[in-house]
Amino acid sequence: MSAEQLAGLSDDLVLGAVLLYLAAMIGFALELAFGRARTNTGATALTVTEPGVKESVAAGSSMAAGSSVAARSSGESGEGAEAGATVAVSPPEPPSWAPKAGTVGLVFGWVGLAANLGSVVTRGLAVGRWPWGNMYEFVVAICLAAVAAFLITQLRSNVRFLGAFVMVTAALGLGFAVIWLHVQAGPVVPALNSYWIAIHVSAAVIASGLFTVGGVSGILYLVRGEGFSRLPTRTDLERVAHRAIVLAFPVWTFAVIAGALWADKAWGRYWGWDPKEIWAFITWIVYAGYLHARATAGWKGRAATIVQLVAFACLLFNLVGVNIFLGGLHSYADVGG
């Protein structure tokens, strides 16, 4: 195939990945919407105690129509003054097809990942270089990394509750890249024509994919209420976010160091306070603060989640906002029209 044909195939595969990710999102969303609801402690039933209760019924009591009421009166006095009831409310049993919808979503997710990977490979073959020399290619690669991080994590532990949100994030990211960032396949400026692009940018892409999984988990943590929800417990969401960030942080650290080494080779200095360098360092500082606070001060819950979401916002601005709104030596990362 010619370079032009490979570039066209790459663009088609990106569009195919968008559709497949959206199909996966629907499958995951159906499982989430109609699956089993739990309280924020992980229980599948909620016990509500009314005033005057002397004795309660354990949550999780079986119910014919999805709920039951158990009342027990205690009348030490002749009037039976103390009486009460405990209502054990349990959500309806989920339909049998709900888990199957999640499995279908998983299949579409893997096929979409293959299409996304194919788009990156064919783009690289079309241009004869590493396929992340501009913003369009970089965002496509980050979407690939985010979905890969989710699916690989799913192989080790059940995190399908993240599926709908990761898939819609990837689909929106690819759509953004196609509509606003797309540039024709072609050569890059001499500064990018280096083996360092395979080292520095690859590390940044991998770390960004993991940080995205952590960011999605953090947002869900803040959204999740205290009562019944199809989302997992806040403890589980925080644990997923923390593990993703623990894996991503050293990779991001390596990316920053590799970027400094590349800058010395390309421009004769390790650090020049370029906007991209500044925001990469700010992102590193905030994520380091999050990990330090958890490890030393024992920060958990809402406060820690807010810190990591501030770091995620810094990451997004560094990856996209700096190239669009700020100048500097990294302005070669074209934004197409």
pLDDT in tens, 15-38: 999 999 999 999 999 998 887 766
State residue 299's pLDDT score: 82
Which neighbouring-strand residues pair with 268? none
Task: Tell me the residue range of the domain where 309 lies.
Answer: 3-36+95-332
Q: Where on the phi/psi map is residue 66: left (φ > 0), alpha (ψ -120 to 50), or beta? A: left
Cα 36 to its chain centre, rounded Å, is 22
**Would you say residue 42 lies in a domain?**
no
**Would you say residue 66 lies in a domain?**
no
**Would you say residue 203 lies in a domain?**
yes
Which residue has 């989302």 as its token pair?
231
State residue 42's pLDDT score: 59
State residue 265's pLDDT score: 85
**Would you say residue 64 lies in a domain?**
no
**99 contacts 35 by C-beta, under 8 angstroms:** yes
Q: Give per-residue pLDDT as tens, 296-328.
A: 877 888 889 999 999 999 999 988 878 777 765
State residue 90's pLDDT score: 56
Q: Nearest Cα to 21, choosing from 227, 233, 234, 163?
A: 163
**Would you say residue 114 lies in a domain?**
yes
Ranges of residues in the chain with a pLDDT under 50 are 45-84, 86, 88, 336-337
**Would you say residue 243 lies in a domain?**
yes
Domain count along the chain: 1
DSSP 285-303: HHHHHHHHIIIII---THH
Locate 59 and state its tokens. 């949550």
**In whole angstroms, what is the distance from residue 221 CA to residue 333 CA?**
34
**Would you say residue 279 lies in a domain?**
yes
**Would you say residue 69 lies in a domain?**
no
Q: Nearest Cα to 186, choosing from 139, 128, 140, 136?
A: 128
State residue 228's pLDDT score: 61
CA 161 vs CA 50, 216, 274, 322: distances in Å: 33, 11, 39, 32
State residue 117's pLDDT score: 97
**108 contacts 20 by C-beta, under 8 angstroms:** yes
